[in-house]
Structure 1
Amino acid sequence: MTCKQKILYVTLMFFCSWIIYAQEEHEADSLKKVYWSQPTGENNLKLLDQILSEERDPDSLLRYSRLLILSSIEAKNKKYLLEGYRSRGVAYRYRGDYIESLENLYKAVDLAEELDLLFDVAVLNAEIGNTFSENDDTDQAIIYYDRGINILRDIDSVSTLGLALYNAGDNLFIRKELDSALVYTLEARRIFRDLKNEYFEAYAEGNLGRIIFSRGGNLEQAETYLLEAVTVLEEVSDYNALTDFYSTLSDIYIETGNYDAAIMYAEKSLEAAKIYKMKTDLENRHLKLSQLYEEVGNIPESYEHFKSYVIYKDSLENVEEVKKIANLRSDFEIAKRETKIDLLNEQKKNQKTIVIATIIALFLIMLLALGLYRRNKFIGRTKKIIEKEKNRSEILLLNILPQETAQELKEKGRVQAKRFDSVSILFTDFQNFTHYAENLSPEELVQSVDYYFSAFDRIIEKYSLEKIKTVGDAYMCASGVPFPVNDHAERVVSAALEMINFVNRAKEENADNRTRFDVRIGINSGPVVAGVVGSKKFAYDIWGDAVNIASRMETTSEVGKVNISEYTYDLVKQKFDCEYRGEINVKNKGMMKMYFVIGEKANKEISQDYDHAGS
């Protein structure tokens, strides 16, 4: 079982029952006896729902979810119908039938949206993400995880949000997007810690250790997280997760040269993998132990583990070959039986032979008709799923790119770069950010940057600016793209002044003693070229000398000031009071005239109440 499957199991465990370990297997059987012993009615719907919440066997899940679906349709009860489709989708996922799983989960989502059950919509989106993740479609998985997470944030469902964040982080870890995986996992751990759920917090800390190690980070910190996780999980014998956590600890001790500890944890990982007969993990652990024992000079042990590695490797590689051999043997047995039947039939009368042949022909025709019917039905279901995903993808594309740009990308498969003669570009940068980053924890650093950038997003939305990108602690936006406007410079300067006011006010109103930054802002105006870059992850960007000068305006600015070029000054001098700084040497540009923006003319004060900025 892969780590991805492990966390899917944890999520299902939470959604079905928070105290699953305290339940006994006979509870589901007792409920089934009650169900089959009483007449049909409204109470049967509740019983079936309870049975499904306790059941784990895929075949039994399919049976009772079908009964719940049929009973709910007959009773016209959409809430229980939703639960029937959800359980059926989970059962098909267990069996590896991902198309059937998605079809049922989409039906459940439609019902949840119709009934306005936001919590169920969020959970079902996360469950769809689980299905895509287990099918190794990590791109689709993260879309649905994020969709569920956003809803859970809105409805303030903290415990379920923690698990959805953890799933998304684990999915990003599989995709090797380690920075994003770190952000999701840190937030999940904070939620579990606030809820005092030591078990789920251990899962989060174990994955934090794996992420930090994979990023090449602080080995001591990664070791601490993993040791804390295994201490908790060993108490409940959760060897699914321990298999991977032990293995990462072994890798850490290999890095530090502590081969005794590395071998000990590799052996522990091997034993944990044996408990659940995870062949892929067993193959990898035997290979690691073979290499470790060879490193310390224990050749006999190295040889024994290498033999086991070869056995598991061959068993995995030869699965398809074994299936082929088994099929050939079955075909041979069938052929022998058919030969005997033919010999017997030759001794019978011609009339009986004709009857048998006719029956066989009709049976084959029925099989062919049934096969064609099932194939057409399968194609129809697949088309519906593809069409639904296409619509969802189009909505997502509009959230990433401007509408005109997105439409051009869909129609032509590419976007033609466009020149804009007059655009204003703004850059921001936090003073001494590197110093703070070295001294703050990852959680505090992410929270601080998000605090400022979220506010900047609201400000540029107020002035209809286009956000281009963020790089580390730098924030870039522009006015005049993708649609030209005459007052682009005035809009950008107004937004910049509001950003300065917000940063200053954040320091004064810092009741929680959070880390606060000082900011520099630079602005320039001029022609640019705009277009879309990337073939898999699209990004709208701008280029040109005007962009480079805007960046230089920021680097030559001062803390708490808005520094503008002479080009921008000529466009805004009628509306804003500016202080001439003189000519300042700019890298690769020589001497350039610059101005500090003081404020609006004619005693027009810039609003200090940011909370009403969007009104």
Structure 2
Amino acid sequence: MAYFNIFRKVFHSKAYIIFGLFFFGTYIYAQDRHIADSLELIYNSRQFEEKDRLKLLYDLAVFSPDPDKSLQFSSELLRRAIEADSTHHIIGAYQERGTALRLKGDLNQALESFFNGVKLAEEEELQRELGILYINIGTVYAAMDDHHNAIRNYNEASAIHKAENDSVGYASAMENIGDLYNLGLSKPDSALLFFRESGDIYRAIDYKPGIAYNMGNVGLAYALKGDYDIAEKNIGQATEMLEELGHYYPISVYLTYMSDIYAEQEQWETAFAYAFRSLDLAKQHGLKEQIGDAYLKLSELYEKRGNTAESLRYFKNHVIYRDSLNNIDKVQEMANLRADFEVSQKQIEVDLLQKESEIQLLKDKRQKIIIYATALALVVIFVFAFFLYKRYSFVKETNTIIEEEKNRSDALLLNILPKETAQELKETGQVEAKKFESITVLFTDFKDFTRSSADLSPENLVRSVDYYFSRFDEVMEKHGLEKIKTMGDAYMCTGGLHLNKEDHALSMVRAAFEIIEITEAVKNMDQTNIMPYEIRIGINTGPVVAGVVGTQKFAYDIWGDTVNVAARMETNSETGKINVSENTYELIKDEFECEYRGKMKVKNKGMMKMYYVKKPKLQMA
């Protein structure tokens, strides 16, 4: 029996228009498990004509609720479509493959797949397909917290769909922009304006998936505004509709927000029930990002209920799944080690709170001793003198304990935040974000880190990375620079951030040469427990915004185009070399010999001038 005849029998009255519309993929059609199972049965039984194979593979990728299966079918579709030279099916494969990778948490690979689709759609002037790809690219950038690029791509998509008179596509772009204003930028009133426009369109054409998403997003906006009754009503109705449609990812998101709503009302049993339901649903469908978010939500709930042990256990699971979203293969064994470290840091915070309580008890006890000593002094001078001596000894010991704990607390805070920022936090209880007009940012990355580390034990891998980063920290301190953070095998630091050094670009380049010397020295070391790596270095200079994020667990970070360009300088560098931007070159050219590389294409930036720093000019003689 031909594929189309079997398909009509499976779906009865459902309109089969996926091939006509073709590329709306995951944000228009429901991922229904019954449909996916029926299609897979047809494909495995080979009850279809060969000319329908590409169409069937596309439908399998669209309707499969399991991201792994969707990735499997879209990858096979891409291979066969390239062999058949079918442009539409190639774009469809890139679209669904990118969506599956996004749901699995492989964000960089998802972007690569969508960009491949954009390139082909632009060449073929397929505007409608291009608009859909821009929406998906915006969604990936939103997941990366790159709000600027997310909004830019959503706006590109909305303009295309509006020009094409595509009401569903235009409404979807508006819905995504509203979602970004709501959850990404915490501006629910602005978000509701976009939701109102997209919701009117969905309801006018009776498009049920769009109506469901819109209701849920409106509910989240009202939750942020504190209108919990309206929020619960909308999210509840959206969840019911999405369950019928088979959209599991947003259900998991909405369930965690339902948990928040009940937690705010201190209805803890219901709050826990929603959080566990979100976790079970995410595990059932392999949604890594939502598994991690559900673990974090449960950790927060247990912490609010005073169950420290359970809170730490779920926080550890959150760390493991959060790290699994990074694109570093073959180092999954490190997850437990890293999680244990971060959990131990959280335990230190708990211990400090307990110490503060003990100190307060000591202070109360001291006051009682003073009262008793004074009363006894009225009876006999000798007893008064004795207790006066005891009081002096106790006060001295207590003050020593207080000073030690204060120093320990200050040291822990300085280990997390810069000195100036830590002082501001202690004095005012908050840290204002600041803009710096000119700082220098450096990124490093080990070449072939994943492949060369595959055979190392987790202990040796951690030991090696710790050795390098500890030496890099010493270099930063020597030159008056500041480490911002490490990301896997990447190291990020800045110059001129708080010391306001005018020669921060020169200091950063000197530090970069010392970093290269460290990596070269490892190759000549006799010990075998430190893995030798080749290193790439990229540097850029420009304005940034710096500040503290988080309220319970602080993290200091910097944002801005300057940071992104510095990262691109690193990815475009070569091992053992220092690649700098034109901005940095202008600040160091009088003291360092540089090699102009020409203009090179930089992702999301176009053509940019780049230079290799060769050596100090003092050594040129």
Q: Same fold (TM over 0.5)?
A: no
Q: Shorter-chain-normalised TM-score: which range?
A: 0.3 to 0.5
Return the index of the structure with the highest Cα Rg: 1
Give me the TM-score of the superposition, normalised by structure 2.
0.43
Q: TM-score, normalised by structure 1?
A: 0.43
